Structures are given as structure tokens and as C-alpha cells.
Chain A
Amino acid sequence: MNITAYVVLSGILFTIGCVGVLTRRNAIVVFMCVELMLNATNLALVAFAKQHGNLDGQIAAFFVMVVAAAEVVVGLAIIMTIFRTRRSASVDDASLLKY
């Protein structure tokens, strides 16, 4: 089976997520882009697992999903708190921790 299409799709999704993280200011959107990158990775893992004919990649994808779920819980909580205190969800506004 040819997995080229899956890897290409995975690459496109990862790039979209990456650019989103770097360019968007809204914390929620940045967060979604991070998720997009994680899932692009998952897609690549599953695709390679299929090619190799073993389950290693699929197990790794599960781990990524679990970590992503935990991260969403913590991340959204942080974003909520920041929004409540500053009335803004822009990541550039929360820049007090610096030199």
C-alpha cells in the first residue's frame, strides 16, 4: 500500500498548524493549531505503522491522544483564567514574564 498521500496530507496539516501557531494571536486559535499539529503527527504515525505492518505507531498515536487530552484540560483552564482577569485572549497581551 502506498502511504505517500497520507504523509503529504500529514505534512500539509502540520504546516498549517505551525503557521497558525506562529501567526495567530487568539489563544484559542493557537491552541487549535497546536491540536492540528498533534493530529498531523498522529496521522503520520498511523500511516507508517500501516506500512511497517506492526502496531508500534498506533500505540504511539494513542499516547499522543492521551497527552493531548490532558493538555487541553490544563491549557483551556489557563486560557479561561487569563481571559477572566485580562478580558483578552490574545497571547501577545500576556507578555509580562520577561527580562
Chain B
Amino acid sequence: MYALHGGESIPVVDPTAADGVFSLLWLVIALPLAGAAILLVGGRYTDKWGHLLGTLLPIGSFVLSLIMFVTVLGRDESDRQVMQHLYTWIEAGHLNVGMDLLYDPLSALFLLLITGVGSLIHIYSIGYMAHDPRRRRFFGYLNLFVAAMLMLVLSENYLGLFLGWEGVGLASYLLIGFWQHKPSAAAAAKKAFVINRVGDMGLSLAIMMFFVLFGSTSFSVISAAAGNASETQMTILGLLLLLGACGKSAQFPLQAWLLDAMEGPTPVSALIHAATMVTAGVYLVVRSNFVFELAPDAQTVVVVVAVISLLWGAWIGCAKDDIKKALAGSTMSQIGYMMLGAGLGVAGYAFAIFHLLTHGFFKANLFLGAGSVMHGMNDDVDMRHYGALRKAMPVTFLTFAMGYLAIIGFPGFSGFWSKDKIIEVALTQSPVVGILALLGAGITGFYMTRMMLMTFFTEKRWEKGVHPHESPAVMTGPLVVLAALSVLGGVMLAGNWIVGFLEPVTGVAEHEDPPIPVLAVSALTVAVVAVGVALAWFLVGKREVPRTAPQDVSFVTRAGREEVYGNKINDTLVVNPSRRLTAALLVTDRRVVDGVLTGGPVAIGAIASVARRAQNGFVRSYALSLLGGVLIVVLALLAVNLA
């Protein structure tokens, strides 16, 4: 169903009541949530089998999601939105919020991604965390993460979404700081949490504004009434939502937490970057399409933020020697592509989600592959200590190569289709944005090739006593599955299936031809990527890689190593001024406020200690004072009477 608002037709969320398999919708969230509860409350009694239970429950959710997906495919297109009302969550005055779950094509795809990739990461973690004494707790947190993310994508109103949103924030905090004995991990967790708070403030303000404007936070109510609000109000809403999305998705200017978040165990990085957390921001923007469609200015800001982020992240990816941090920079860049797609409006929403899915596959693949490499290299993350690992770890190498080809957009691989489509839409709508996105694709080719060469090719630069070995089957198994998905993910675009499937949510795009033929766009993208790859080959592959990072490097490299001064900017603009403000407030409190409060009594005490000397105990001196007083009174009376 669509509503016309000022000449634009915007899809309305108009679900039918849940029936059949959809009445089990709550179970999708409940299973991992139960896992988290059992593992965290059960304590060490669940140590022996906790990781198995924690893996089985998300798989159960995945099976349910798969059944629902097949069911929804069999339905008529107009009948693909289903809502399950569980109970009334909050009822106070005009505020009535139900615990409602919405299953529509958008959440269907997210469900498959979260539970599917999430389950693979769970299986992988069984091997990766095998020697960690707190493995059971780790699985409890992982389950909590998955449950929160499922709540986020299944809720039918913004308040329920916020519940999941905060749950994701909490779980990421717990997992990033999982190795809390390392001060750097504890600090990284805190940093992620605090920066996310900034974004959350935007989202919570947007929710309040939704309630004030529409009297509800439900998607169906807001999407039907969206046209009643003015464009200014919609723009403010859009910007607030974007702030929230920037925090969760690590987009400029709230990107600083993402690289520090690499302090967590590698499966956590995979989970955060592929299946949960950073995708939430893209989900929020696509889900709120009824806001952004009515706020063109906000859409423009989304595009600007996206372009800055995709170049910023790529820049970082080029300079980092830490394999996980280079991958993290790449995530920021790829999320930038998704945001770009989402910011381009109806034409781009489906491709944003498409890229999100393919990125979920190949980024999980790459991160888990990096984890496998670290596993064999005694947890060393410095790529300058790798080299020539393709023989020592053949499975990891082959699967990593599939992810690599997918992310750089090698023709035929999943990333090729999804990135190509976003660049094509960008070129159609704004040549400048399109060219910048193309440039980003070229840089992606460069930094991924650099990573590939430094890790698996070139000569050995291993530390002494390191004997790289292939990881156990429980770790390589998920890698193989993810590699297959990275290769084949592009089939979702066959016959424009994903666009048609998402139409009930994102709306029907008018077809516009790009300024140059579609094939030319693809060829151009491939050519730009090829230049990036060749550049990496000549700069990294043909030369000897130094074991320690050279210091006499250009400004560009130095800036990249410093994460393009993101932390410095934050420190200068926010952290240090706040610190100074706090210090000034402390001094003011101690000197001025405390001075007034304690100074008065102290002064009175000082006067009193002098004045009490008058009480000397001699009756005659009292009598004299009395006489003096009487005299004064008499004289005063006389003066008054005579005057």
C-alpha cells in the first residue's frame, strides 16, 4: 500500500495479523535471549555444554527465519507484511506502546543475515575460544548480541527498536571489553559505549519528536501520517535519525570507536562488522524511508556523510599494518557505500540492503579468516610479521581470497554486483558523488590487495618460534560456507529479484538511465579497481616489505596511520574542552560555592570569638553596660521629645 504525500508515493507499513508460522515470530528473539539468560545466570554449572547450547539456539532462530522466508516468498506481494502483537508494553496517558513485532521483506533479509552469519560466527568461536577459560560467558554475550539485534530489526515501533539498539550497545561493550584484563580493551569498550551514547541521544530525541508530532512511535502510524508534518520537521527528524545511525554504524563524525573496537576477540569483530551493530544504522535509515523521502535536505546530508566516511575509512585501510584495523577501516568505507545507497532515496534503498548482505558475507569471511591467521601466528596482528602464508594455511588462504575478490568487486563475485549498482545510482543522480564512490572502489582495490600480498604472498617475515598451521575444521567450516556466499551472493540481483522483493518497504523507483551506459559503468569500475590493484602490486608486491613500519613516510601515510587524525580531532574539539570545563567547574565549586557556603559561618565564628569576651563574669561590668544602655535610651527619648 502506498500513500501520496506532496506528489510522492511513499510506502505505508500496513501489516496483517500474524498467522501460521509467523505466530512463532517471538521465538526468533526468545531463543538466543534464553541462551544468554541460561549461560549468564547458570554460571559455571553450564561451563561444559554452554558453548554448544549457545550455538544451537541461534541456529534454531536461523531455521525459523528460513521457514518464514520461504513462507513469505509463497505469498502474494501485497501480503508480505505481518505483525505479531505480543502485549502492551507501556501504557501511560496518550502513550501506548505495544510489544509488536513486524515481519516484512526488509526484516526478513536482516533475520537471515543476522541468524545465518551469526550462527556461523558462533560455530567458529567454538574453535577460536577453545582455550579461553571464560568461553561460556563469551557465548552468553554473543547470544545477547544476536537477540538484541533481532529485537532491533523485528520491532514494529521506534521504542522497541531503541530497546534492541541499546541492547546491541550493551552487548558490544561487554564483548569489546571481553579481555578486560587488558587496559586497552577496557578503554576501547568504554570509548565505543560513550561514542554510541552521542548517537543514541539523536535517536531518542527523534523518538520523542515522533511522539509529539504523530502521537505514536509505530511505523504504520507514522508512515501513514508522514505527510502531515512540515518539511522542516521532517528534516530535523531525518538529521536526528542520521546522528543515531552515524553512532551505531561508525560513520563520520562518530567513527572513532570502530578501530579501537578491534581489541575484542576476532569473532566479535566479525559479528559487529558483518551481521550486527554497524548494519543497524543502515537499517534505521532504510526503515525510516518515509521520513527521508519527505526531507531532501536530510538525504543530502546522508550522502555527504556517506562519501566522507567511505573515503576516510579507505584511507585508514591503506595505512594500517594491523590486519584487523585495516579491515575495520574497510568496514567503515563499505558502510559508507551502504549509507550512500540509502541516502540516494528510493532508487538506492534496495542496493544499500543488497550491499549490506553481500558485505555481511565477505566481511565475516575476511574477519574470520584474519582470526584464523592470527590463530596460527600466536595472535600476532601485525601484517609485517606475516608473508607467504598461502602454503601454511591453504584453506584460510583460499577462503580469504574469495572474500578479497568479493570486496574489491572482481567481476562475477557478490561485491561486484552490489557496489557496482550503488556507483551506478550515484552516477545517475550526481556525477560528483559517483566519481568519488568510484575513487573509493579504486582505493578498496589498493588496500585489500596490499593486505592480501602482505599476508599470503611476499617472503616470510615470521617472528621466531612461530609455526603457522591451519586452523581446526570447526573454524575452517564456517569460512568455506562464507566464502561460497561471498562468491554467490550476487544471485540475489538476478532478474532484479531483491529490488522487487523490497518494493513493499522501500517503494517503487522510477527507472532512470545513468549518463553513460550501464555496461560502461561496470567497465569503468573494474578499470579503476584494476588500477588500485596494480598500484598495490607495484608498491607492495614488487618490493621488499620492511619488518618494522618505515618512519620516513609521506603525510598521507602518516595521517592514515593516525586514523586521519579522527582521535586528535575529537580530542581537540570535544574531549579537551570538556576536560577543561570540568576542571574549571571543579575549581569554581571548591572556591566559589564552597567559599560562600563555609565562608559565612567562619566569619560569624570569628566575630563571635571576639565578641564573647564581653561576657567576663563580673557583675559590676554588667551593671555598667546596663547603665550605659539606660543612658542611651533616656538620651534618645529626650532627643525625640525635644526635637
Q: Which residues of A contact B (CB under 8 A)?
A: 18, 21-23, 25, 30, 91-92, 94-99
A99, B618: Cβ atoms closer than 8 Å: no
Q: Which of B617, B620, B623, B624 contacts A98 (CB 8 A)?
A: B617
Do B615 and A94 touch (CB < 8 A)? Answer: no
* Assembly CA distance A57 to B139 (angstroms): 104
Cβ–Cβ contact B617 & A97, under 8 A: yes
Query: In the complex, what residues of A have CB within 8 A of residue B623's CB?
Result: 21-22
Instruction: Please name all residues of chain B whose beta carbon is closer than 8 Å to the beta carbon of A91 when the two chains form the complex.
Output: 618-620
Q: How far is the CA of A22 from the CA of B627 in the complex (A)?
A: 9
Q: A85 CB to closest chain B CB, in angstroms?
A: 16
- A22-B618 in contact (CB<8A): no
Complex contact B616–A95 (CB within 8 A): yes
- A99 and B619 CA atoms in complex are apart in Å by 14
11 contacts between A and B (CB under 8 A): A18-B627, A21-B620, A21-B623, A22-B623, A22-B624, A91-B618, A91-B619, A92-B618, A92-B619, A98-B615, A99-B612
Interface residue tally for chain B (C-beta within 8 Å): 11
Main secondary structure of the interface of A (DSSP, over half): loop
B613 within 8 A of A: yes
How far, in angstroms, from A23 to B612 measured CA to CA in the complex? 24
- B619 to chain A: which residues have CB within 8 Å? 30, 91-92, 94-95
Alpha-carbon gap, A18 to B612, bound state (A): 26
Considering only residues 25-84 of chain B, those with a C-beta below 8 Å from chain A are none
- Is the CB–CB distance between B620 and A99 below 8 Å? no
Asked whether A92 lies within 8 Å of B615 as measured between CB atoms, the reply is no
Give Cα A30–Cα B613 distance, bound, in whole angstroms.
Answer: 24
Q: Which residues of A contact B620 (CB under 8 A)?
A: 21-23, 25, 30, 91-92
> What residues of chain B lie closer than 8 Å to A30, measured between beta carbons?
619-620
CB distance from A15 to the nearest CB of B (A): 11
- Whether the pair B615, A95 counts as a contact (CB closer than 8 A) is no
A23: chain B residues at CB < 8 Å are 620
A97 to B616, CA, bound (A): 8
Minimum CB–CB distance for B172 against chain A, Å = 68
Q: Shortest Cβ distance from B625 into chain A, in angstroms?
A: 11
- Taking CB as reference atom, which chain B residue is nearest A97? B617
Contact with A along B161-185 (1 / 0, CB 8 A): 0000000000000000000000000
Report the minimal beta-carbon distance from B416 to chain A, rounded to whole angstroms.
96
Q: Is the CB of B627 within 8 A of A99?
A: no
In the complex, the chain A residue whose C-beta lies closest to that of B618 is A95
Question: Which residues on the B side are within 8 Å of A21 (C-beta)?
Answer: 620, 623
**A12 CB, nearest partner CB in chain B, Å:** 17
Question: Top 10 nearest A-B pairs by Cβ distance?
Answer: A98-B617, A95-B617, A99-B612, A99-B615, A91-B619, A95-B618, A98-B615, A98-B616, A21-B623, A97-B617
Which residues of B from 595 to 614 have beta carbons under 8 Å from A? 612-613
> Distance (Å) between the CB of A94 and the closest chain B CB?
7
B624 touching A99, Cβ below 8 Å: no
In the assembled complex, the Cα of A25 lies from the Cα of B623 at a distance in Å of 12
Q: How far is the CA of A30 from the CA of B612 in the complex (A)?
A: 26
Compute how far the CA of A95 lies from the CA of B623 in the bound complex, rounded to whole angstroms.
14
Chain B residue nearest in CB terms to A96: B617
Distance (whole angstroms) from the CB of A74 to the closest CB of chain B:
15
Which residues on B sit within 8 Å (CB–CB) of A96? 617
Complex: A21 Cα to B620 Cα, angstroms: 7
Across the interface, B613 reaches (CB within 8 A) one of A22, A94, A97, A99, namely: A99
Q: Which of A21, A92, A97, A99 has the most CB of B within 10 A?
A: A99
The residues of A that contact B618 with a CB separation of less than 8 Å are: 91-92, 95
Chain B residues lying within 8 Å of A22, measured Cβ to Cβ, are 620, 623-624, 627
Contacts A21-B620, A21-B623, A99-B613 aside, 20 further interface pairs with beta carbons under 8 A come to A18-B627, A22-B620, A22-B623, A22-B624, A23-B620, A25-B620, A30-B620, A91-B618, A91-B620, A92-B619, A94-B619, A95-B616, A95-B618, A95-B619, A98-B615, A98-B616, A98-B617, A99-B612, A99-B615, A99-B616
> How far does the Cβ of A11 sit from chain B's closest Cβ, in whole Å?
13
**Bound: A30/B627 CA distance, A:** 15
Residue of B nearest to A23 (CB): B620
Nearest CB on B from A99, distance (A): 4
Which residues from chain A contact B616 at a C-beta distance below 8 Å? 95, 98-99
Query: In the complex the two chains form, what is the Cα distance from A25 to B620 in whole Å?
Result: 8
Bound Cα distance A18, B617 (Å): 19
Contacts of A95 in B (CB 8 A): 616-619
B296 to chain A, nearest CB (A): 82
Q: How far is the CA of A98 from the CA of B620 in the complex (A)?
A: 13
In the bound complex, CA of A91 to CA of B618 (Å): 7
Cβ of B605 to closest chain A Cβ, rounded Å: 14
A56 CA / B620 CA spacing, docked (Å): 33
In the complex, A23 Cα to B619 Cα: how many Å?
Answer: 11
How near does chain A come to B622, taking the closest CB pair, in angstroms?
10
Residues in A with CB closer than 8 Å to B617 are: 95-98
The 8 A CB mask of B620-641 against A (1 = contact, 0 = none) is: 1001100100000000000000
Please measure, in the bound complex, the distance between the C-alpha atom of A97 and the C-alpha atom of B624, giving whole angstroms. 17
Q: Once the chains are docked, how many angstroms separate the CA of A21 from the CA of B613?
A: 22
A23 to B613, CA, bound (A): 21
**Once bound together, how far apart are the Cα atoms of A99 and B617, in whole Å?**
8
**Chain B minimum-CB-distance residue to A21:** B623
Q: Which residue on chain A has the smallest CB distance to residue B608? A: A99
Residues of B with C-beta under 8 A to A99: 612-613, 615-616
Q: For B624, list chain A residues within 8 Å (CB).
A: 22
Binary contact readout B402-437 vs A (1 if CB under 8 angstroms, 0 otherwise): 000000000000000000000000000000000000
